[in-house]
Structure 1
Amino acid sequence: MTDETDDEELTVGRAATRLGVTVRALHHWDEIGLAQPSSRSIAGYRLYTGSDIERLSRIIVYRELGLDLEAIGSVLDDPDTDVVAALEAQRAGLAERIEHLSSLSVSLDRMIEAHTRGLLLTEDEQRAALGPGWDPQWPAEARRRYGDTTPWRQYAERSASRTPADWQAVAETNAAFERALAEAMEAGIAPGSPEANALVERHREVFSAYFPVSRSMQVVLGRMYEADPAYAAHYDGVRPGLASWLRRVIDAGARAHGIDPDTATWEDDATTDDRSGCGHAAIG
């Protein structure tokens, strides 16, 4: 409510200031017929009377409750409009939006945490999902090394939506693939053979659970599997010599696609370390 009388007329600027809205809003409401000034100055400028200000005040009340301008017009001007029903509908819609925003807030919290921590699992959950050989310190180390790279961001985006069961499924897929690698090596599958190249493609598919891997990036991973003591120990623990065999298989697969393994690099400008693959044991 205001103290304006019908005898006092306010310019659009003064009316906007008095009501705490913009001049643009008053112009728009005038143009759509929601709140038109009762008079004009000799120069043609809008002039708002006390009754006009009262109507504008009511519009603002309903606008702050979230009603759209069409609904506000019906509430103010249509005698057949059930105001209570309109407000109840608005309340129901607001409840839905609140629920959505609450869910969004939780998702944002998880995404922030995933970019910060990597794995959103407790240490016990990590060991249960990823096996007794898993070190819960690996995600923190990977974040320190690779947190400014695109692969880490892609990894975090996947991690944010994963449950312990999801990670256990990823770990089981990795283990099954490693067994397939060991069986292929034992069977004498030669690097560059169709069978070996199929395993190279499967490696990229399995690794996509963490982040997309190009063929060039895959070569860098192969080097790391052989050269890094922790990775070499992991693969050689599955089958002696597997780390070097896997590197040779990946190199041969790259050559089949026109990539020179000797010059292949990690395709992320923010990465300067060839070990930036953040492989299975590094980030889960």
Structure 2
Amino acid sequence: MPDATAPDGLTVGQVSARLGVTVRALHHWDEIGLARPSLRTAAGYRLYTADDLERLHRIVVYRETGLGLDRIRAVLDDSAVDVPGALRAQRAQVAERIDRLQRLSAGLDRMIDAHERGLLLTVEQQTAIFGPRWNPDWATEARQRYGATAQWQQYAERSASRGPQEWRDVVGTVTDLDRALADAMDAGVAPGSPEANRLVERHREVFAAYFPLTRQMQVCLGRMYEADPAFAAHYDGIRAGLATWFRRIVDAGARAHGIDPDTATWE
């Protein structure tokens, strides 16, 4: 057994406990010649002297700053190395890393907030962007209803990256689509026609601002737009009968892709 009370040095275990490094690390540093113990017991166990401990302490400090072992060896053993310069360069890298981590932390905060709130906008901003008839409680209600779904998670992730201007852009795109739908209905565009099918695809592309929309999911949305009083009021407020016409062109587009609208499910 090693003499743990040897007066001439400390055992590996004692050094490990004192410096907060693993025994494995100490053995590795010994093997590569970075920090070799100066003494051995009669049984061959390593013993570290006060000078060894000082070197190890410096290694631990430099490693904490992010220096690699080869760079640490140069700082300790090469008299030509500009130690303050090396540390300043490392400090600059640490500062950059801190900045990245702070930005990552801020992004995570926004992501968490978006998952919990849906919209990272004040009530005043929501009213200004979405219009006076917008209900600021919608996001809370939607989270309560859909918060466990993959679509809510996708919506929240998109929401986390958007500020007021990005939401204005989304609203502008949706408004343009609504106008195009109304104009097409007024012009007598028939469900299943190439123009109607292009509008159906355009709706899927625009809706991707919230989450990816499959054709089957789009069929379900078309039904909801027609049946839900709030959605129906929105579309019929643009043009009387627009909610039903939209559901019809979505159904026709789905059939063109081999989907039966009567059996379509949210998937």
Cα distance in structure 1, aligned partners of 2:239 and 2:18: 80
User: CA offsets per residue over residues 100-130 of structure 1, 9 Å max, x none?
Assistant: 1221121111111100111111111111112
Which residue in 1 is equivalent to 2:208?
208
Q: Which runs of 4+ in 1 moved over 6 A?
A: none
Aligned: 1:82 with 2:82 = yes
Q: Does 1:176 align with 2:176?
A: yes
Aligned to 1:229: 229
- The CA deviation at 1:18 is 2.6
Partner of 2:151: 151
Provide Cα deviations, 1:170-228, integer angstroms capped at 9, x if missing partner: 11111110111011111111111111111110110010010000011001000000000
Does structure 2 retain, via aligned residues, the 8 Å contact 1:7–1:50? no
Unaligned 5+ segments in structure 1 are 1-5, 268-284
Structure 2: which amino acid aligns with 1:235? Y
Match of 1:15 in 2: 15
Contact 2:225 2:232 in 1 (8 A): yes
**Segment of structure 1 superposing worse, 34-43 or 202-211:** 34-43
Cα displacement string for residues 71-126 of structure 1 (whole angstroms, at most 9, x for unaligned residues): 22111100001111111112111211221122112111111110011111111111
Question: What amino acid maps onto 1:165 in structure 2?
Answer: Q
Q: In structure 2, what is the Cα distance between the partners aligned to 1:186 and 1:65?
A: 69
2:239 alignment counterpart = 239
Q: Could you say which residue in structure 2 is the equivalent of 1:106?
A: 106
- Residue type of the alignment partner of 1:73: R
Pairing 1:64–2:52 present: no
Structure 2 portions without partners, runs of 5+: 1-5
Amino acid at match of 1:250: V
The 8 Å contact of residues 65 and 94 in structure 2, kept in 1 or not, is answered as no
- Cα distance in 1 between the residues matched to 2:217 and 2:97: 43
Match of 2:190 in 1: 190
With 83-92 and 113-122 compared, the bigger mean Cα shift is at 83-92
Task: Please give the secondary structure, in 2, of the residue aligned with 1:259.
Answer: coil
RMSD of aligned Cα (Å):
1.6
Inter-partner Cα distance in structure 2 for 1:213 and 1:60: 53
8 Å Cα contact 1:7-1:49 kept in structure 2: no
Identity over the aligned pairs, expressed in percent? 68
Instruction: Give CA deviations for 1:112-170 in whole Å, capped at 9, x if unaligned.
Output: 11001111111111111122222111111111111111010000100101111110111
Residue identity in the other structure for 1:144? Q
Q: Is the Cα contact below 8 Å between 2:126 and 2:134 reproduced in 1?
A: yes
- Displacement of 1:43 after TM fit? 4.5
- Quote the offset at 1:58 in angstroms: 1.9
Which structure exhibits the higher relative contact order, with contacts defined as CA atoms closer than 8 Å and separated by 6 or more residues?
Answer: 1
TM-score (norm. length: structure 2): 0.93
Q: Residue type matched to 2:223 in 1?
A: R
Q: What corresponds to 2:164 in structure 1?
A: 164
TM-score (norm 1): 0.88
User: Secondary structure of 2:191's partner?
Assistant: coil
Query: Is the 8 Å Cα contact of residues 10 and 49 (structure 1) preserved in structure 2?
Result: yes
TM-superposed deviation, 1:41:
4.1
